[in-house]
């Protein structure tokens, strides 16, 4: 009985303070938050430095390859338009498809082998985008070709087929201009063409065609790339022009040949 008070005193001395757990949690939270803040600040600084370096590389490429026509400050000249506000998407499309720089003046810029690496195209796009707000590079979520092909086909027929043909085979326009074929064109460049309106193409912003519907159109075009013509030889998918020419040459030719053969046989 005499030892009980001593045991109780030892227990009292070993018992934690009621606020000890709260203090430990606070220390843990402060340590975790501080480490996260330090990490994100460092990552943001690295990202910012990389973006600044990319813009700097783009400015050098622009001065060496583009400023003669577009002006040192992107203001444009009598030979080429201003690039202020065209956005990264326009640069990625025009330069990434080889249309720019121009090989020669003409009714419109034609696709040709790309003159720059993908890294250089991205640097040029970043530099132009830094000089004024404009359409950016599209998000990957709209480029996978996983939309609704039926909806995309309907949208394409309503908005695009009058120039590009219902099968995306392209077509002639006025004054030597043309709508290019869309077979084999990357999803990124199709999307960028819709939001920037290159050459004679109108701009389809998100108020005209939503990003989801743009993805549906891309899905339809990719379906055409992957699906052979179920009706047989497509004759270039150019519609009644090529079909009428085929009938005129081969169909009428066959009728004339049969007529001559029957006449010769009767004689």
Q: State the virtual CA torsion across 238, 97, 113, 167 in degrees, nearest 10.
A: -10
Res. 10: pLDDT tops 70:
no
* 138-227 CATH choice from 3.90.180.10, 1.10.1040.10, 3.90.550.10, 1.10.760.10: 1.10.760.10
In DSSP terms, which residues pair with 172 in a beta bridge?
178
- What angle do the packed helices 187-196 and 211-226 form, to 10 degrees? 140
Which of 66-75, 149-158, 247-256 comes out lowest in average pLDDT?
247-256
Q: Is the pLDDT of residue 14 over 70?
A: no
Count how many Cα atoms sit within 13 Å of the Cα of residue 163 in the half-sphere of its side chain: 13
What is the per-residue pLDDT for 247? 77
What would the pLDDT profile of 121-173 be if each residue is shown by its tens digit?
Answer: 999 999 999 999 999 999 999 999 999 999 999 999 999 999 998 889 888 89
62 pLDDT more than 60 = yes
Residue 95 confidence (pLDDT) above 80: yes
Could you tell me the pLDDT band of residue 238, with boundaries at 50, 70 and 90?
Answer: low
With contact defined as beta carbons under 8 Å apart, do 219 and 153 qualify?
Answer: no
DSSP H/E element including 179: strand 178-179
Q: Say if CB 184 and CB 225 are below 8 A apart.
A: yes
Mean pLDDT of 204-212: 95
| Residue 155: closest CA among 222, 217, 231, 230 | 217
User: Is the pLDDT confidence value at 43 over 60?
Assistant: no
Residue with tokens 């008070």: 5
d(C-alpha 167, C-alpha 141), whole Å: 24
Each residue's pLDDT tens digit, 79-88: 899 999 999 9
The pLDDT, as a whole number, for residue 124 is 97
The more confident residue out of 120 and 239 is 120
pLDDT at 193 over 60: yes
Provide the 10 A C-beta neighbour count for residue 44. Answer: 10
* Fold of the CATH domain 41-137: Cytochrome Bc1 Complex; Chain D, domain 2 (1.10.760)
Q: What is the mean pLDDT of residues 17-27?
A: 69
**SS3 for 178?**
strand
Would 41-137 and 138-227 be classified into the same CATH topology?
yes
Q: Which of 141-150, 229-238, 239-248 has the lowest mean pLDDT?
A: 229-238
Alpha helix positions (H), the chain? 4-14, 20-65, 67-70, 87-96, 118-130, 149-159, 161-164, 187-196, 211-226, 240-246, 252-266
Q: Considering the chain, what is the average pLDDT of its residues?
A: 85
Closest residue by Cα to residue 131 from 179, 68, 164, 82:
82
Q: How high is the pLDDT of residue 254?
A: 87
Domain regions of the chain by residue span: 41-137, 138-227
Tokens 């030979």 sit on residue:
79
């Amino acid at each position: 009985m005499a030892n009980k008070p001593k045991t109780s005193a030892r227990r009292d001395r070993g018992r934690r303070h009621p606020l000890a757990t709260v203090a430990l949690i606070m220390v843990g939270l402060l340590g975790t938050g501080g480490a996260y803040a330090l990490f994100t600040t460092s990552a943001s600084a690295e990202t910012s430095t990389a973006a600044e370096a990319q813009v700097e590389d783009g400015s050098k490429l622009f001065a060496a390859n583009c400023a003669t026509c577009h002006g040192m400050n992107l203001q444009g000249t009598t030979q080429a338009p201003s690039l202020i506000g065209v956005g990264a998407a326009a640069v990625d499309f025009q330069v990434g498809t080889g249309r720019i720089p121009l090989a020669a003046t003409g009714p419109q810029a034609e696709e040709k082998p790309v003159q720059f690496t993908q890294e250089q195209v991205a640097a040029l796009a970043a530099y132009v985008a830094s000089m004024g707000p404009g359409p950016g590079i599209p998000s990957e979520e709209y480029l996978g070709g996983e939309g609704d092909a039926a909806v995309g086909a309907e949208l394409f027929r309503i908005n695009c087929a009058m120039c590009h043909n219902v099968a995306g085979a392209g077509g002639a326009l006025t004054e030597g201009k043309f709508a290019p074929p869309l077979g084999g064109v990357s999803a990124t460049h199709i999307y960028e063409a819709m939001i920037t309106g290159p050459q004679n193409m109108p701009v389809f912003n998100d108020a005209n065609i939503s990003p989801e519907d743009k993805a549906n159109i891309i899905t339809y075009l990719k379906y055409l790339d992957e699906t052979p013509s179920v009706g047989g030889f497509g004759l270039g998918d150019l519609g009644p022009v090529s079909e009428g020419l085929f009938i005129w040459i081969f169909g009428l030719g066959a009728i004339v040949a049969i007529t001559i053969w029957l006449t010769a046989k009767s004689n």
